[in-house]
Amino acid sequence: MTDKPNILLITTDQQHFDALGSRTPLLKTPNLDRLGSEGIVLDRAYCPNPLCSPSRSSIITGQYPSIHGCWTIGTKLDEEHETLGEILGDSGYSTTLIGKAHFQPLASQPDQTSLEAMPTLRDLDFWREFTGPYYGFDHIELARNHADERWAGQHYALWMEEKGLTNWRDYFQNEDGTNPRRHSWDLPQEFHYTNFVRERSAHALDVAAGDQKPFFLWASFQDPHPPYVVPEPWASMYDPADVDPGTLTPGELDRMPVWHRLTQEENPDYSPWQETPHENHGFGSHLIDDEELRKNIAIYYGMMSFIDDAVGTLLDRLDELGMTENTLVVFTTDHGHFLGQHGLIAKGAFHYEDLLRVPMLARFPGRIPAGSQTESLQSLIDLAPTFLAAAGIPIPLAMQGVNQLPVWEGSETRARDHVLIENRHQPTRVHIRTYVDDRYKITLYRDENYGEMFDLQTDPGEVHNLFNEPEHRELRAELLAKFMNAEMVRETSRYARIAVA
């Protein structure tokens, strides 16, 4: 076995940063709590974009969506783009992705083809033969759906059939999206995709143990993303009466842009921002009765406990195989989630901490001190350069993320003094960006004169927008100057200058 470290990246999909037992005592995540206690808890981690495809593409490129090109859901990451997997593979790593990819959209066009689209999604003969390479991963086994969505297929469907569930289609929505389940799913838990990711990732570890290569494995779980549907016993694990939903503070939206206020109407009119026929996530009514919200949160927690159980399997397998000491394990998600905070549910173009911050844990025995914690700013675009640094591989100039390994190891206090978040959900009309530093946060809207500015130290709940308050004009000017400088700082080039003319 090489002396290069193994890398295990474990992700969820759309997880609120408080959805860990260490932060929310009601929620049971003993294995993730163990991972944090054996390594470092990174309390100020952010996504570069609060949507799946752009954020996931940033994880494997180390670049912002505006640079790598997958700028929203419904666009793809070009296959020729250099990725973390390719760089690691060229340095002798085996590279594997199990679970959700979502680097490509659910529909194909002549100028933007997609392997993750219908009808290919359910062409099992295709997936039986195709296991990579894909975006730098030598081996892939994919699952695209959330809960009982009609997008079930790919390698997940093959796995269900191999395990004897030949009628798996009966447990999912119809092709037109009808017949959805609610909360409790009749699918036996042994056929759930969380167990698919668990079993196949554990198998990948077994394969790696017999190999002479270091490995990079991404175990990509699909939950706790809506729909809020999960099999027993997880569906009834939490009592809705015990959960603590987020709330809307009276009057807080009076200072916010119109997008936010419309969410509290029965039938809001978002047509001025509907530039194309395609959906803008979150642009609709967010009104929900308390009973339904509590049920959804209880299922959300059940999904997380199910994933935690699977994470325990992977951590135990590392121990059994004698690979723990030489494996960097990182746990995070692609972006956050609203559970009633600010009157919002799920996600949308609303740049509150609930959506932008992500949970992040890292363990590297002998390198990362056990039981450590930091509020040093992190971004998901930092994962690729940090992994390369851990492997002793030069970081490409084109990567915009920074190496966080010295911070994780405790030799430095911080690697960055700000993070940037993009959100371009339509070509022009839905286009916002956010700058966050240790204390303050400012959000700008393209072609608009309104915005948001929060003091996260005195107002961590973000209920008092300071953007238009006269007494904070100097602060706004200062933050805008920092924002502009951050935009210049993040410019990169594929090449270094080697001549004077």
Determine if the peptide bond prior to 224 is cis (ω within 30°). Answer: yes
Residue 176: its pLDDT value, please?
A: 86
501 confidence band (pLDDT: 50, 70, 90): low
On whether the CB atoms of residues 434 and 350 are closer than 8 A, the answer is: no
Chain segment 124-137, per-residue pLDDT in tens: 999 999 999 999 99
Please state whether beta strands 372-374 and 40-42 pair in parallel, antiparallel, or not at all (unpaired). Answer: parallel
| 229 located within any domain | yes
Percent of the chain clearing pLDDT 90 (strictly above) = 90
Q: ∠ CA 354-358-363 to the nearest 5 degrees?
A: 155
The CATH number linked to 140 is 3.40.720.10
Residue 425: its pLDDT value, please?
A: 85
Distance, CA of 355 to chain centre: 10
- Compute how many other C-beta atoms are within 10 angstroms of the C-beta atom of residue 270: 16
Residue 492: its pLDDT value, please?
A: 86
Chain segment 450-474, per-residue pLDDT in tens: 999 999 999 999 999 999 999 999 9
On whether the CB atoms of residues 425 and 72 are closer than 8 A, the answer is: yes
Q: Reply yes or no on whether the pLDDT at 278 is more than 80.
A: no
Secondary structure (DSSP) of 85-149 = HHHHHHTT-EEEEEE---SS-SS-BTTB--TTSTTGGG-HHHHHH----BTTBSEEEE----TT-
Distance CA 224, CA 146 (A): 9
Bridge partners, residue 230, by sequence: 184
| Helix and strand counts by DSSP (H, E) for the chain | 13, 19
Distance CA 95, CA 439 (A): 38
Distance CA 385, CA 416 (A): 13
Q: Reply yes or no on whether the pLDDT at 247 is more than 90.
A: yes
371 confidence band (pLDDT: 50, 70, 90): very high
- Nearest residue to 365 (alpha-carbon basis) of 317, 392, 389, 329: 329
Distance CA 280, CA 68 (A): 21
Bridge partners, residue 184, by sequence: 230
Q: Reply yes or no on whether the pLDDT at 320 is more than 60.
A: yes
Query: In what helix (H) or strand (E) does residue 360 lie, and over which residues does it extend?
Result: strand 360-363
2 confidence band (pLDDT: 50, 70, 90): low
157 confidence band (pLDDT: 50, 70, 90): very high
Buried-state track 15-50, b at ≥16 Cβ within 10 A, e below 16 = bbbbbbbbbbeebbbebbbbbbebbbbbbbbbbbbb
- Compute how many other C-beta atoms are within 10 angstroms of the C-beta atom of residue 269: 10
Q: What is the mean pLDDT of residues 237-251?
A: 97
Domain count across the chain:
1
Average pLDDT of the chain, as a whole number: 95
Q: Reply yes or no on whether the pLDDT at 32 is more than 80.
A: yes
Q: ∠ CA 424-425-427 to the nearest 5 degrees?
A: 75
| 438 located within any domain | no
Q: Reply yes or no on whether the pLDDT at 151 is more than 80.
A: yes
Chain segment 404-452, per-residue pLDDT in tens: 999 999 999 999 999 999 999 887 889 999 999 999 999 999 999 999 9
- Compute how many other C-beta atoms are within 10 angstroms of the C-beta atom of residue 67: 20
Residue 1: its pLDDT value, please?
A: 44
Q: What is the mean pLDDT of residues 255-263?
A: 95
Distance CA 103, CA 83 (A): 12
Residue 275: its pLDDT value, please?
A: 81
| 362 located within any domain | yes
Tell which phi-psi region holds residue 211, choosing left (phi > 0), alpha (psi between -120 and 50) or beta. beta
Tell which phi-psi region holds residue 421, choosing left (phi > 0), alpha (psi between -120 and 50) or beta. beta
| 471 located within any domain | no
- Nearest residue to 309 (alpha-carbon basis) of 44, 23, 91, 33: 33
| 70 located within any domain | yes
Q: What crossing angle do the helices spanning 154-162 and 193-209 adopt, rounded to 10°?
A: 90
Chain segment 33-77, per-residue pLDDT in tens: 999 999 999 999 999 999 999 999 999 999 999 999 999 988 999
| 177 located within any domain | yes
Q: Could you tell me the residue range of the domain that residue 149 belongs to?
A: 6-246+287-418
Residue 419: its pLDDT value, please?
A: 98
Question: What are the C-alpha distances in Å from 112 to residues 77, 78, 479?
Answer: 10, 9, 38
Residue 477: its pLDDT value, please?
A: 98
| 240 located within any domain | yes
Q: What pTM was computed for the model? A: 0.97
| 53 located within any domain | yes
Q: What is the mean pLDDT of residues 171-175?
A: 93
Distance CA 55, CA 96 (A): 19
Residue type, 13: D
Q: Reply yes or no on whether the pLDDT at 148 is more than 70.
A: yes
